[in-house]
Homo-oligomer: A and B are copies of this chain.
Amino acid sequence: MSVQLGGIKENWSAQEVGDGNINYVWIIKGPSGAFVLKQAADFIRIVPTWRLTKKRVWWERRSFLEYFKYCPSRVPKQIFFNEQYSLNVMEYCHPHIILRKGLISGNIYPKLAEHVSEYLAQTLFHTSDLYLKSEEKRKLMMDFVDNSLIHLTESVIFHEPYITHQNNHWTNEQILHDEISSIQSDAFLKFEVSQLKEKFMNFTQALIHGDLHTGSIMVTNEDTKIIDTEFAFFGPMGFDIGAYLANLWLSYFSHQGLIKHGKEENTQYTKWLEDQAIQTWDSFVLKFVKLWEEEKKGEMYSFDTGLAQTKFIENLWQDTVGYAGCKMIRRIIGIAHVEDLESIKDTQIRADCEVKILKFAKHLILNRRTIPHMNYISSLLSTSM
């Protein structure tokens, strides 16, 4: 590492840059190079009284190494790991910025859908029983089955937002009260969320990222890197795809809200966001099916191809739509909100967006089995605003 940084120790600098909810992140710079150092404390950065195992950096590194096998251009190179200090040193992605911030600024990333769909298809296919031999998959699962961070997800996404809970908070009681009250008292919606939670807890389909929002992606015009994989575990593929789409749609609603209230002029940007969701899903399906055709060596679906693929993608679509709904609701009602909305200073405008997001998300969860395709969701988006 010292060779990479160059010069002597006195010329090196370390700057804490973490803006996530959980860990500390430093950029270590020297005359000829730099890298990122991520360290886990045994608590959550934003809630120091909330204990969280330091092993999370181990799961991050372990999953990065696995993803790197299949998608080396889309994850930062891993440089060094120290278990004792719970630290993980990796490639410094520069001049990348966090995608969420890019979306808030209204930036367009021409290769984003291509890159994210590539990451999703490569990692989800190659860690499933479509690619791995049964025993290979079970061996890999051994490394992740005790990832206790999953319990955090179970609570903050699938439980707390639907009950009265101290972690919940929202922008404006007056505007949001009725919608939140309606959600928390909707037995049918909560039953659907419970079914999605059951699948999250019990369906070991692939080694998923587990937290793939737009804050876990770094971008430039040319490049895309997926980071923060410490929530990785064997779960339903649709949870990753849904998380990403949900965050595109959160951005869509925030921009649309600003436009509607005359605070923003670029009406093309929401169209770009809407298309990003369509392109990401469509490219994902093409790539995933191509991998199935060309690289399948796992023992699942060993008899046929056409029918199995169609049904598999249909199930995955329903999961994706459902999880996207859950991921949006929790960002409005639950513990961790998103900057896309929080950065709208006028709380009336923000709350107005949020009501629309809640209605949209509810619709996705309740109707995921009958929503036919992305174009239907585009129509829903227009209708919502």
Which residue numbers of A lie inside 8 Å of B, CB to CB? 129, 134-135, 138-139, 141-142, 145-148, 150-151, 154-155, 159, 162-163, 187-188, 190-191, 193-195, 197-198, 201-205, 299-304, 307-308, 311
Contacts and interface: CB of A to CB of B under 8 A. Distances in A.
Contacts of A201: 129, 134, 300
Contacts of A299: 154-155, 159
A255 to B, nearest CB: 33
A142 B151 CA distance: 16
A198 B135 contact: no
Copies in the complex: 2
A190 B138 contact: no
A151 B129 contact: no
Nearest to A307: B191
A45 B141 CA distance: 30
A163 to B, nearest CB: 8
B145 A141 contact: yes
Contact of A145 (B145, B162, B190, B308): B145
A336 B127 CA distance: 32
A159 B302 contact: yes
B145 A138 contact: yes
Given A135-B148, A300-B197, A129 B191 contact: no
A21 B377 CA distance: 55
Given A191-B308, A201-B300, A202-B204, 14 more contacts: A129-B198, A129-B202, A135-B151, A142-B146, A154-B299, A155-B299, A162-B303, A187-B303, A190-B303, A191-B311, A194-B308, A195-B311, A197-B301, A202-B205
6 contacts: A154-B299, A187-B304, A190-B304, A194-B304, A195-B311, A203-B203
A142 B162 CA distance: 31
B138 A303 contact: no
A300 B301 CA distance: 29
Contact of A134 (B154, B162, B187, B204): B154
A187 to B, nearest CB: 6
A201 B303 CA distance: 16
A145 B201 CA distance: 15
Contacts of A154: 134, 299
Contacts of A162: 303
Contacts of A129: 198, 201-202
A94 B283 CA distance: 63
A302 B194 contact: yes
A237 to B, nearest CB: 11
A194 B311 CA distance: 11
A190 B301 CA distance: 9
Contacts of A191: 303-304, 307-308, 311
Contact of A301 (B141, B163, B198): B198
